Amino acid sequence: MTSNFFITLFSFITAISVLVFIHEFGHFIVGRYFGIKVLKFSIGFGKKLWSKTHGDDQTEYCISLIPLGGYVKFLDGREGEVEKEDVGRAFNHRPIYARIAVLLAGPLFNFIFAILAYWFLLTNGVLSVKPVIGDVLGGSYAEDAGLLYGDEILKVGNKETLDWESVIIYILNDITSTGSVNLEVKNPAMGSRKSVIEIQEDSSSFTEPGEFFQNLGFYPWRPPAVVGSVYEGSPAEKLGIRTGDQITSIDGEHVKTFDDLVNAVSSRPGKIVSIVFNSNGNDIISELELGTTNNNGLQRGFLGISLSEQANKYIYIKTYDFKHALLKSLSQTWVSTVFTAKMFGRILTGKVSLRNISGPVTIAKYAGESASIGFNEFLRFLALVSISLGVINLFPIPMLDGGQILYQGIELVKGEPLSMRFQVIGNQIGIMALIILMSVAFYNDIFNLY
């Protein structure tokens, strides 16, 4: 438990620090390009843990105690008198187009990072699961739409789907916009056919965390707990488990899918457990001592079996060449960005649940979980959070980049800067909006914990 906590904490600090650095570096490098003097570049807030001054401008670079953000401080004539040699190098002395470029650079670098992360994943091979439907619940929207076990979702509307991530994005978008979802599915026994899911209730219930599949009435297909191969010298081999056997219970815990089996075994490292498995039509009840493996500092139980061949029909690794990986990474970042922006907009109209606003505890949880799976999954997590960070910073809230861009746009139209009184009032409203947003996020964190 202790090691898991430290892995989660380290993963969270790493994730936030990397994404904040990328965002602030965008502001920094574009500001330098336009000749603006940089006074300070800080990762984190509060007490300085480390600092160093460097360069002709004696810019202070520092790492601070609270790793929940960062900032670049430019020379600004609105905050005090500018030295004679620095006239023209203050932020407010530069042309409006330069100021807007500097403000846009932070979110833009977040999107660029996501593109590069997706490109790296796609060129190295992405483990994907075909969007095949598993169990369909009786009396559900899915059953009313005629969806069946084994249906592969080919399209949502006119958009092709290759994995569950795209299916969820497209279905959620349609549910929260029109309440109607048009699907094209394919079943080995019935071929391709059309299906329509008509939602007759408040769409926000489908956006509650963890409620998407339950409310629709189906679950993704998962490989059954059927043994593909048995590792030599493993606990499974010693017990006599063979290829084709199906495990149905671990320590009285029902096992249906291979995921269930992995979760039951990994949480019991080195323990003696009771196991029930079916071999040649006969249920066998026995006991065995699980092995132990070390995964990124976490002790996990080990049985010593692999997936059956059936899973290979649905689980695959897709690798792209440089050009196609770049095009797909651009497309994936764009789709995720538009989807994130729409979801935030629909939160304001009540079509999407407020519980989707996550705070640092939830982010830390997913950072730890993704890091424990492996580097690729952690990088995918960073890409998604980077997109969210970019979108949020473009909100027209005065304390964020989007609000400052709005100020510059008004100045461009008006022909003169906004009055200090107007800016102070705007900043106060912005602070209140951020406090409300943070309060909702922390409430959701506490709600999810308990």
Q: Tell me the C-alpha distance between 127 and 307, whole Å.
A: 14
Residue 75 sits at the vertex; the CA angle it makes with 72 and 78, to the nearest 5 degrees, is 115
How many angstroms from the chain centroid is the CA of residue 403? 25
Count Cβ atoms below 10 Å from residue 380 Cβ, excluding itself: 19
Question: Tokens for 189?
Answer: 């026994």
Question: Tokens for 407?
Answer: 């100020």
DSSP 75: P
Backbone angles phi, psi at 134, to 5 degrees: -95, -125
Cα–Cα distances (Å) from 257 to 26, 145, 152, 262, 280, in that order, read 45, 25, 18, 9, 19
Q: Tell me the C-alpha distance between 26 and 277, whole Å.
A: 56
Counting beta carbons within 10 angstroms of the beta carbon of residue 254, is it exposed (0 to 12), middle (13 to 18) or buried (19 or more)?
exposed
Count Cβ atoms below 10 Å from residue 81 Cβ, excluding itself: 7
Backbone angles phi, psi at 172, to 5 degrees: -60, -40
Q: Tell me the C-alpha distance between 10 and 4, whole Å.
A: 10
Instruction: Catalogue the E-assigned strands of 92-167.
Output: 126-129, 133-136, 152-156, 159-160
Give per-residue burial for 159-172: e unless 16+ CB within 10 Å, then b.
Answer: eebbbbbbbbbbbb
416 carries an active-site annotation: no
Task: Specify whether the CB–CB gap between 445 and 363 falls below 8 A.
Answer: no
Task: Specify whether the CB–CB gap between 86 and 37 falls below 8 A.
Answer: yes
Q: Tell me the C-alpha distance between 398 and 378, whole Å.
A: 32
Q: Tell me the C-alpha distance between 390 and 22, whole Å.
A: 11
Question: Tokens for 225?
Answer: 């707990």
The amino acid present at 293, given as its one-letter code, is T
Residues involved in catalysis = 24
